[in-house]
Structure 1
Amino acid sequence: MRAGAEPVGHVRVGYARAATARQPLDVQLDSLGEAGVTRVFSEKISTRATKRPELEAAVKLAGEIRSSGIAVTLVVHEHKRLGRGIELAMLAEKLRISYVGLEFLTGELKGSHDPSGIVFTVLAAMSGMQREYIRDRNLEGHESARKRGKTIGGAGVTDDDMLCLALHPRDQEMSQRDIAKRLVITTGAKRGQHPSLATVMRMLREHDEHAATAPST
């Protein structure tokens, strides 16, 4: 961080979302303003939408700020504005990897949450249940592939966690290109980068092949 660039050493990035064009954002924007948040991304788009440009922009900015050495928190009126179930868990995982905090101004999760804190742990557990299901479902298929000398996806890039994060949006009919843009490599020399479209396509194709050949339980 450059000296004097951020004297307080902490930036709070706000996000507001309404589900329909007719639903006002005033309450959320006023709440964020009262909380002292000056940089706010907002949009009117359904939770069912597979792509929310303003949320993606907010998360991207938060990650860039954090990578410069400045603490950053994504501030939202209520956790429901970010998504539900596995979608919220996936977003929390992305923020955790970037070490970006979360703050909810109202609702069940009201308060500030550190990426190493209990809320992130609970959200990670939600997506973890799906990961475990995927691991169990594909264990025999993967073992069979290994015996044939094959690997899943790109070596050192993809893993079961990435597969989990890719399968849910695919079930929601998100394109593989958009899925690739949402995934983040967490280990190795390419850590922090998005996998290539070809890697994601190969990972999903091999998953489908192994799932089809794995014995039913």
Structure 2
Amino acid sequence: MSTCAAPAGSPCRTGKGKVAIQYHTARFRLVPQLAKTLNVPTPPVRKPGSAWVELPRPRNEGAEPAGHVRLGYARASTARQSLDTQLDSLTEAGVTRIFSEKISTRATRRPELDKAVALAREIRASGAAVTLVVHEHKRLGRGIDLATLAEELKASDVGLEFLTGELKGSHDPSGVVFTVLAALSGMEREYVRDRTLEGHESARKRGKTIGGAGVTDDDMLSMALHLRDQEMSLRDIAKRLVITTGTKKGQHPSPATVMRMLREYDEKVATVASV
């Protein structure tokens, strides 16, 4: 019989408090049927030789949640946009803690959102009910991204609530209404984007300038081509160019402006060469 002092059914530990390589199954031999019916899953964080740390105990199925925690998430797409409206709305909704960041929904990772979801799961695992509260669904995501995140929250038994917008209220991600509205929000964004691009293309064909008055000229283009031949980056090229006309006279053009100017030049050269 093993001398392991760990309670029956828990991963065994060595005398120095380390996780054992395998269970001391001899402790279960007094009841032979346990060898077939007992199933004690070992969490992934348990590794042979690692220090023993007590993990949150799994909650009993059907048990009533011990309390309710409301976590908030606020997001703006750019640094210039203000979060004040969202923060005020979340505070009025009784949110316990707010995670906020200024980042586009196109970013593959949103650190503050990841922290909010991780904390929500941790609190729910401890037995308390948790709801992630967002000012509007567009702050959380659109289309497939929104539906996917909502499903992940549902799998962790974390509630989801929007304070305003088309999806205002608490939602069940597995419901048909939520799925349809989430998909429509993604389609709306694509529709607006396509219409904007079509308008820009139509304006260019008529010789109109998109995005305000132009700041480039032939002299700037010649210098940019010369610097590009020296294999300089767009940022370095922009630092060496100066706007000579308009309200931005004396300033440097942005790297995006330089990239657009060079791209349009390359397209014209390619068109002439193909004729």
The answer to whether residue 140 in structure 2 is matched with residue 82 in structure 1 is yes
Written as runs of structure 1 = structure 2, the 5 A alignment for 1:23-42 is: 23-42=81-100
Kept after mapping to 1: 8 A contact 2:121/2:158: yes
Give the distance between the partners of 2:180 and 2:167, measured in 1 at CA.
11
Q: 1:120 to 1:97 in 2, by over 3 A?
A: farther
Q: Quickly say closer, same or farther: Cα 1:125–1:80, change in 2 above 3 A.
A: closer
Structure 2: unaligned runs, 5 residues or longer: 1-55, 58-64, 185-275
| Distance 1:111-1:18 versus aligned 2 partners, 3 A rule | same
Q: Identify the residue that residue 172 of structure 1 maps to in structure 2.
A: none
Tell me how far apart the structure 2 counterparts of residues 119 and 41 of structure 1 sit (CA, whole Å): 27
- Secondary structure in 2 aligned to 1:76? strand
User: Deviation at 1:38?
Assistant: 2.6
Cα RMSD (Å):
2.5
8 Å CA contact retained: 1:13, 1:40: yes
Q: Equivalent of 1:62, from 107, 114, 120? A: 120
Describe the superposition over 1:25-67 as per-residue Cα deviations: whole angstroms up to 9, x where unpaired.
Answer: 0000000011111300000001111100000000111111111
Distance 1:60 1:119, change over 3 A: farther
Aligned to 1:196: none
2:66 and 2:127 in contact (8 A); partners too: no
Counterpart residue number, 1:104: 162
Does the CA contact (< 8 Å) of 2:143 and 2:182 recur in 1? no
* 1:179-198 correspondence runs (5 A): none
Distance 1:124 1:96 in 2: 15
CA distance in 1, matches of 2:181, 2:121: 19
Indicate conservation of the 8 Å contact 2:75/2:139, yes or no.
Answer: yes
CA distance, structure 1, for counterparts of residue 109 and residue 155 of structure 2:
20
Q: Which amino acid aligns with 1:23?
A: Q
Instruction: Report deviation, 1:113.
Output: 2.1
Question: Is 1:44 aligned to residue 96 of structure 2?
Answer: no
Q: Deviation per CA, 1:140-171, whole angstroms, max 9, x where unpaired?
A: xxxxxxxxxxxxxxxxxxxxxxxxxxxxxxxx
User: Which structure dedicates a bigger proportion of its chain to helix?
Assistant: 1
SS of the residue 2:88 aligns to: helix
Higher relative contact order (CA 8 A, sep 6+): 1
Give the whole-Å Cα distance in 2 for the aligned partners of 1:55 and 1:23. Answer: 18
Q: Which has the larger radius of gyration?
A: 2
CA distance in 2, matches of 1:124, 1:29: 23
Would the alpha carbon gap of residues 68 and 114 (structure 1) be closer, same or farther in structure 2, given more than 3 Å must change? farther
Q: Where in structure 2 are the equivalents of 1:68-147 lying within 5 Å?
A: 68-114=126-172, 117-118=175-176, 122=180
Asked whether 1:15 is paired with 2:91, we answer no
1:174-198 alpha-carbon deviations (Å, 9 max, x no partner) = xxxxxxxxxxxxxxxxxxxxxxxxx
Q: Secondary structure at the match of 1:75?
A: strand
Counterpart-to-counterpart distance in 2, 1:87 and 1:42: 19
Distance 2:76 2:179 in 1: 27
What is the TM-score normalised by the length of structure 1?
0.51
State percent identity of aligned pairs: 81
Contact 1:101 1:115 in 2 (8 A): no
**How far is the alpha carbon of 1:91 from its aligned partner?**
0.4
Secondary structure of the 2:164 match is coil
- Alignment gaps of 5+ in structure 1: 127-217
- Residue 191 (structure 2) aligns with: none
